[in-house]
Amino acid sequence: MPHEPTPDLLPAPDAIAPRALLTVTGADRPGVTARLFAALAPRGDGRPPVEVLDVEQVVVHGHLVLGVVVGALVTGGRPVTGEAELLDHLRSVADDVEGALGVRVAVESASGPDAPAAGGRPHHVIVLGRPVPPEAVAGAAQAVTGVGGNIDAIRRLSDVPVTSFELTVSGAEATALRAALASVAAETGADIAVEQVGIARRSKRLIVLDVDSTLVRGEVIDELAARAGRAAEVARITAAAMNGELDFAESLRARVAVLAGLPETVLDEVREHLVLTPGARTLIRTLQRLGFRCGIVSGGFTQITGPLAESLGLDFAAANTLEVRDGRLTGGLVGEIVDRPGKARALVRFAEQYGIPLDQTVAVGDGANDLDMLSTAGLGIAFNAKPFVREQAHTALNQPHLDAVLQVLGFTRDEVLDAV
């Protein structure tokens, strides 16, 4: 004969069952969590069955805080246990755990109108700085509350090269949350990034980096212009282009034109004097060991970016090419210009090449010509960018260390060290 089906004890969606919160505090030691949940398990002695609804645990300098929300099971549309019976049962569990482990276990009702309500999709709020001022954390917490959100958890992601904390926030609408936190960032000088909670955050698989003023310090075109005696003129054009005041392709041609007549050897000189942004090697090495495809898309020049990509072991690179004739620069370009839309096209091309969906890509840049690339990527990060760019990117970093990108992606310092 077939077995009778097991009675369904899962809660009905509209059932109202009592809930309670157990909070365990004390010195951390092995076995605390196991002992608590063992005490909650049915023993066949008539104690009421419960289900686990939420768990959060953190250890700070050897001190444990463990919170567990449990609820009475519901069967036939009715809870099998009333609130008074549930709380009495949990107080007995608390006495058992306290006596065995020397910790404190508080029990309180989590039912009724004061119980936390589900809000919008949860978000991660990452606060970064060197240092992180208390007013940044206070401001972020107040901003979350101000838009109807709640901080469910806080953890430290890193202490080197920047200090960063991740707040898990529920109940807040994304646009309002970003706007409120942007004001806090501007007032306190800390970087505050917002990302939606979900597997997409940790499923990124390809990163594209701008080169000038992102992967390396300074602008290569300005260095070349200095060797032509036109540094100030070109620097003004570069600044206007990066601020979005000039068409990039037009400005690029104007700047390249002043290089006419320079010997090709100046490219080698400039390349040899490139200085990587602090944290660049750590970022690339870590992401490569985590399985990322890493590359550069630049409005600069292949004569610079090609050897740079090779030295860093990058997977791909795209840039403009300076025309050279008889060993000297002609002041012109050859091939397709990698301008603002060209950068976005390059990102799409490389993602397709490796079979990676765009929502699993990351782009990092600082100038107006990076904006299309930043908006096309699943996550666009403005790095020490012009205000015009920061306002339009998904998130912004104003730290001097490029590997702070790892914390925006949710990687802890320990995970970085393990990857390295």
Could you give the residue numbers annotated as active site? 210, 212
Query: How far, in Å, CA of 374 to CA of 185, rounded?
Result: 20
List the structure tokens of 282: 């750590």
Mark out the alpha helices in 230-386 (DSSP H runs): 231-242, 248-257, 265-272, 280-289, 302-312, 340-353, 371-376
DSSP codes joined into one string, 77-117: TEESS-HHHHHHHHHHHHHHHHHHH--EEEEEE--STTSPP
Query: How far, in Å, CA of 149 to CA of 96, rounded?
Result: 36
Q: Is the peptide bond before 341 cis (omega within 30 degrees of 0)?
A: no
List the structure tokens of 169: 């926030």
Query: How far, in Å, CA of 297 to CA of 369, rounded?
Result: 11
Q: Using alpha carbons, select from 132, 191, 127, 161 the residue that is nearest to residue 282.
A: 161
The DSSP call for residue 118 is: P
Beta bridge partners of 163: 129
Query: How far, in Å, CA of 288 to CA of 282, rounded?
Result: 10
3-state secondary structure of 2: coil
Query: How far, in Å, CA of 385 to CA of 366, rounded?
Result: 4
